Amino acid sequence: MSTSVRPEPKPGVMDIAAYVPGRESAPGAVKVWKLSSNESPLGPSPKALEAISHATDHLALYPDGSATKLRGAIAEAHGLNPANILCSNGSDELLGLLAQTYVRPGDEGIFTEHGFLVYRIQILAAGGKPVVVKETDERADVDAILAAVTPRTRIVFLANPNNPTGTYLPVDEVRRLQAGLPKDVLLVLDAAYAEYVRRNDYEAGIELVSSSDNVVMTRTFSKIHGLAAMRIGWMYAPAHVIDAVNRVRGPFNVNALAIEAGAAAIRDKAHVQKAVEHNEKWLSWLTHELSKLGLRVTPSVGNFLLIHFPENGGKSAEDADVFLGARGYVLRRVVPYGYPNALRLSVGTEEANRGVIAALAEFMES
């Protein structure tokens, strides 16, 4: 008989460090520019906003539990079979569902040292053991990942592009990773920033999923589509994975407003292209201006930059964060990602981009 005086979490739960999102406020600042969460500075498509307004007429009714309309729009946009698509309450939910479905107590889940913090959380929540693999030059190392695989490995999470570094693995390396994994190990390609990538040697994962039984690709509407508040994610996966995850997900995990907004957003290709062009222009400009200030910037293909501050000279990331925050510029500290002396900067509006560079210039000169 238990001697506990209250309900206790199962072993491992209290070992989880809760995820802390990017800050939204800057106390004392007259105006705040939030550049901490990689949100779209352009906001959502006007067509998505219109779709939301129409959907409010039916708030008393449950949404379609299969998100048929949204799955159809995604399939249409990417040339996929909707039967191989599963939608979710943000792509974070999918990461958890996949771990819950495939990781048993004592199993191992692999991710790289600067990978998304949610991977560790979901592996631990499933009762598994997180296995962290070193990166090379701030990029995932395929050989190191394969060397970390054991008979207990059940899942490998790979963010491509990665957050917070903004680096990516070329398609040949991703295919080499999949070919080297045991067939019973699930490779999860987290492609949250795929729409921003403009490199000939990059693939989000659609082709590899289509030709494999152990690969899934997750995507989100929170970034380029500007719908972070709606929490919409989706997964493209083999039929057997869709079948298994459908058995454990919530019956109405995507709300009706999200279904309508997502379907409209992914069909508005002009708005997506506008967001891509804005990001291409300002990502390049910010990289150049930050380098002129003597700051090292990790080359990024996403909508954010990892800024490294000098190890000597009294210009630390912590001090920069305080200095910028007092002026209303909120960036992301990345200490939990293994970068104690760096800040992550999201590409913002022209006003925000020019302003944060001016403020950083003042900080570096002070």
| pLDDT digits 0-9 by tens, 348-366 | 999 999 999 999 999 999 8
pLDDT (0 to 100) of residue 7: 86
Q: Which amino acid is at 335?
A: V
Tell me the pTM: 0.95
Residue 317: the pLDDT is 97
pLDDT at 65 over 70: yes
| Domain range list for the chain | 21-43+270-365, 46-268
Q: What is the pLDDT of residue 306?
A: 98
* Domain 46-268 class in CATH: alpha beta
Q: Which residue has the higher pLDDT, 14 or 342?
A: 342
What's the whole-number mean pLDDT along residues 106-113? 98
The DSSP-derived string for 263-278 is HHHHH-HHHHHHHHHH
Q: What mean pLDDT is reported for the chain?
A: 96
pLDDT for the residue numbered 13 = 84
Cis peptide before 41 (omega within 30 of 0): no
Cα–Cα distance for residue pair 30/172, rounded to 1 Å = 49
Residue 10 has pLDDT above 90, yes or no: no
The first and second tokens of residue 254, run together, are: 């995507």
Does pLDDT of 106 surpass 80? yes
**Residue 243 and residue 260: Cα distance in Å, rounded?**
24
Residue pair 363/318 in contact by the 8 Å Cβ criterion? no
Q: How high is the pLDDT of residue 1?
A: 66
C-alpha pair distances (Å), 330 with each of 26, 248, 343, 352, 358: 7, 37, 10, 10, 14
Q: pLDDT of 266-295, one tens digit each?
A: 999 999 999 999 999 999 999 999 999 999
Confidence label for 17 from pLDDT (cuts 50, 70 and 90): confident
Model pLDDT for residues 320-343, shown as the tens digit of each residue: 999 999 999 999 999 999 999 999
Which of the following CATH numbers is that of domain 21-43+270-365: 3.20.20.150, 3.90.1150.10, 3.40.50.1820, 3.40.50.720? 3.90.1150.10
d(CA 215, CA 237): 7
pLDDT above 90 for 19: no
Backbone angles phi, psi at 152, to 5 degrees: -90, -10
Whether the pLDDT of residue 28 is over 90: the answer is no
